[in-house]
Amino acid sequence: MSHYITKECIDCGVCLEACPTDSIIKGEKTHIIDADTCTDCTACVPLCPTDAIKKLTALVTKP
């Protein structure tokens, strides 16, 4: 799994500095987490002042 950043992001940049794998990219209005490089270390999660970083869960479809 990975994490994603919601629209509650205020573009403060705290998560950018906290990410040890540089998986967070500055977007136009919010930041974006690269799911291919995110290691789920959660270093960014407790630092977000707006709680905008959420865990991405797998989508389950019924057969």
Supply the range of the domain harboring residue 28. 2-56
- Domain-embedded: residue 61: no
Per-residue pLDDT of the chain (63 residues; tens, 9 = 90+): 689 999 999 999 999 999 999 999 998 888 999 989 999 999 999 999 999 999 987 665 666
pTM score: 0.82
pLDDT, residue 61, reads 62
pLDDT for the residue 27:
86
Distance CA 5, CA 20 (A): 17
* pLDDT of the residue at 59: 60
Where residue 13 sits, what CATH number does that domain have? 3.30.70.20
Domain count, the chain: 1
Query: Are the beta carbons of 50 and 13 closer than 8 angstroms?
Result: no
Asked if the structure places residue 49 within a domain, the reply is yes
